[in-house]
Amino acid sequence: MSKSAKSRAEEQFAATQKKDRQALKEKESAQQVRADHQAKLRGLRLAKEAADRAADA
């Protein structure tokens, strides 16, 4: 017995939703990696600036 058009459409919709959720997770992960990298660079810059101020004083 073949599946009804509604059943196939529901399966296709569910697969699309799953794919969209995975893409969103990957996008959020990439954003977090960028944010972590920027925070690290900001911390290094602030530490260098503080060291430079301490050396000048």
Confidence of residue 31 (pLDDT cuts 50, 70, 90): very high
Residue bearing the bigger pLDDT, 30 or 1:
30
The DSSP secondary structure of the chain, one letter per residue, reads -PPPHHHHHHHHHHHHHHHHHHHHHHHHHHHHHHHHHHHHHHHHHHHHHHHHHHHH-
Query: Does the pLDDT value for residue 1 go beyond 60?
Result: no
**Would you kindly state where each structural domain of the chain is located, as residue ranges?**
21-57
Instruction: Please compute the mean of the pLDDT values over residues 34-38 and round it to a whole number.
Output: 98
pLDDT in tens, 48-57: 999 999 998 7
**pTM given for the model:** 0.69
Residue 3 pLDDT greater than 90, yes or no: no
